[in-house]
């Protein structure tokens, strides 16, 4: 059954339940108003007619409000999904336990109110207590999440520890030892040769070609928050961003098929790493698991080097493979547009490298022989400077 079919059935069930619940509420309200012995109801309207009218009126309202409630539930579900994507498993477990404990206490406290001799009041007090206790309980448990999670892992043993684990056998064998401390959570990723993937490297896609040639091997660590960021790009309403995100997800899928390496998807959130930005979280993860970072992002490249993290920049690799020129070498290119400075012309080498021709403005639109004068090499790319051959 497709998603629309399931959604339609759920909406029908919700409409049925809302109609029944609102009808019951109408019955209770009718009985309550009749117990007040109001003159208007006592002298004009028969009790049975008033009860039937209340039931039908409220049931109809419940039926009509289903569309609004369904829309609100869908929006709430989407918001909840986006919020949960970067939440760690330990926080989810602590939240569920806090909710269960608080609801249990709320219902125990609500027992005396059930016997209040006013129709329906005990029910609504119980609902209110459940809502209040649920909120307070969850917030309290999250405030003490570390203590609660420590108690859980201590009570249920090492198997309850959520560690940074991979899919390969070597990682799973070290998973048991990872339960002893926060440092040991990363111990199964501390072996040499690990490379943490950045979103920019996956969207760029050249990493797949490098891996297919056999120059890239070992364990590629893909943090869950990077995969989440990639998925959010793929779900973007902007067509270009959506295409880039889907390309990145496709690269991940293809990398997983290469037998000379392992793509290790690590279930860790930025909150666990105590960082708010993806770049900072990547650097912190590399420190924890003693890994290199694989990226094409210039800013991340600089930050990682400052923090002492080894960086594998795909742009650096691509630049190192480009043909090298020496001052005095000659190339033939098409000068296609003027440069930023007066008199300059711009052309491109076969590999896409920009060549700035100092006196080439007058030769725009023609193919000319250029004498190389100098080159500028950075992690962001390479620029070559030259002048027209006289």
Measured between alpha carbons, how far is 62 from 52 in angstroms, rounded to an integer? 15
249 lies in some domain: yes
Instruction: Please tell me the predicted confidence (pLDDT) of residue 158.
Output: 42
Q: What is the CA radius of gyration of the chain?
A: 33
Token representation of residue 56: 């039908």
Question: 34 with 74: CB under 8 angstroms?
Answer: no
Residues 230 and 335 in one domain: no
Residues 8 and 142 in one domain: yes
Residues 90 and 118 in one domain: yes
Instruction: Please tell me the predicted confidence (pLDDT) of residue 156.
Output: 65
Among candidate residues 260, 284, 318, the one where a domain is terminated = 318
Instruction: Please tell me the predicted confidence (pLDDT) of residue 194.
Output: 86
The CA distances from residue 161 to 84, 89, 128, 184, 225, in Å, are 20, 10, 35, 10, 20
197 lies in some domain: yes
Residues 225 and 301 in one domain: yes
84 lies in some domain: yes
Residue 286's nearest CA partner among 261, 319, 312 is 312
Instruction: Please tell me the predicted confidence (pLDDT) of residue 169.
Output: 40
* Regions of the chain where pLDDT drops below 70: 1-5, 39-45, 81-88, 116-121, 154, 156-192, 378-381
Residue 89's nearest CA partner among 130, 139, 145 is 145
Residues 293 and 332 in one domain: no
Instruction: Please tell me the predicted confidence (pLDDT) of residue 44.
Output: 66
Among candidate residues 115, 146, 177, the one where a domain is terminated = 146
Residue 113's nearest CA partner among 103, 101, 127 is 127
CATH at 205: 3.40.50.1010
In the chain, the number of structural domains is 3
Find the distance separating the first CA and the last CA of the chain, reported in whole Å: 74
299 lies in some domain: yes
288 lies in some domain: yes
Residues 252 and 347 in one domain: no
179 lies in some domain: no
pTM above 0.75, yes or no: no
Other CB atoms within 10 A of residue 344 CB: 17
| Helix, strand, or coil (residue 91) | helix
Instruction: Please tell me the predicted confidence (pLDDT) of residue 85.
Output: 61
The predicted-structure confidence for 241-263, as pLDDT tens digits, reads as follows 888 888 988 988 888 888 888 88
The residues, any chain, with a CB within 8 Å of residue 307's CB and separated by 6 or more, are 283, 287
The predicted-structure confidence for 46-65, as pLDDT tens digits, reads as follows 778 888 888 899 889 888 88
Q: Which domain holds residue 277?
A: 192-318
186 lies in some domain: no
Longest dimension (CA), the chain: 113
Instruction: Please tell me the predicted confidence (pLDDT) of residue 41.
Output: 64
Among candidate residues 268, 295, 318, the one where a domain is terminated = 318
């Amino acid at each position: 059954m497709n998603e629309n079919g399931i959604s339609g059935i759920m909406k029908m069930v919700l409409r049925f339940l809302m109609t029944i619940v609102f009808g019951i509420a109408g019955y209770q309200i009718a009985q309550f108003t009749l117990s007040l012995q109001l003159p208007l109801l006592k002298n004009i309207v028969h009790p049975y007619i008033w009860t039937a009218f209340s039931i039908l009126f409220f049931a109809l309202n419940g039926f009509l409000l289903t569309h609004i409630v369904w829309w609100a539930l869908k929006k709430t579900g989407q918001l909840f999904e986006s919020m949960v994507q970067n939440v760690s498993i330990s926080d989810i477990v602590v939240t569920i336990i806090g909710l269960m404990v608080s609801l249990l206490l709320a219902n125990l406290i609500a027992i005396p109110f059930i016997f209040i001799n006013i129709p329906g009041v005990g029910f609504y007090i119980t609902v209110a207590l459940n809502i209040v206790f649920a909120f307070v309980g969850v917030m309290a448990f999250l405030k003490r999440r570390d203590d609660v999670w420590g108690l859980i892992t201590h009570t249920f043993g090492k198997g309850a520890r959520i560690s940074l684990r991979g899919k390969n056998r070597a990682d799973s064998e070290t998973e048991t030892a990872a339960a002893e401390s926060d440092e040991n959570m990363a111990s199964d990723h501390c072996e040499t040769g690990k490379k943490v993937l950045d979103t920019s490297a996956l969207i760029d896609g050249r990493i797949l070609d490098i891996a297919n040639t056999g120059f890239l091997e070992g364990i590629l660590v893909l943090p869950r928050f990077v995969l989440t960021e990639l998925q959010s790009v793929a779900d973007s309403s902007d067509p270009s961003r959506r295409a880039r995100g889907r390309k990145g997800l496709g690269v991940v899928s293809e990398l997983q098929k290469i037998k000379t390496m392992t793509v290790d998807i690590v279930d860790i959130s930025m909150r666990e790493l105590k960082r708010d930005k993806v770049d900072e979280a990547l650097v912190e993860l590399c420190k924890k698991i003693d890994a290199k970072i694989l990226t094409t992002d210039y800013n991340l490249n600089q930050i990682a080097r400052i923090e002492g993290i080894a960086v594998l920049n795909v742009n650096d690799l691509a630049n190192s493979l480009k043909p090298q020129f020496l001052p005095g070498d000659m190339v033939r290119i098409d000068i296609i547009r003027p440069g930023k400075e007066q008199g300059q012309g711009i052309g491109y080498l076969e590999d896409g490298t920009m060549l700035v021709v100092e006196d080439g403005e007058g030769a725009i639109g023609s193919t000319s022989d250029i004498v190389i004068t100098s080159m500028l090499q950075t992690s962001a790319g390479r620029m070559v400077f030259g002048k027209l051959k006289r």
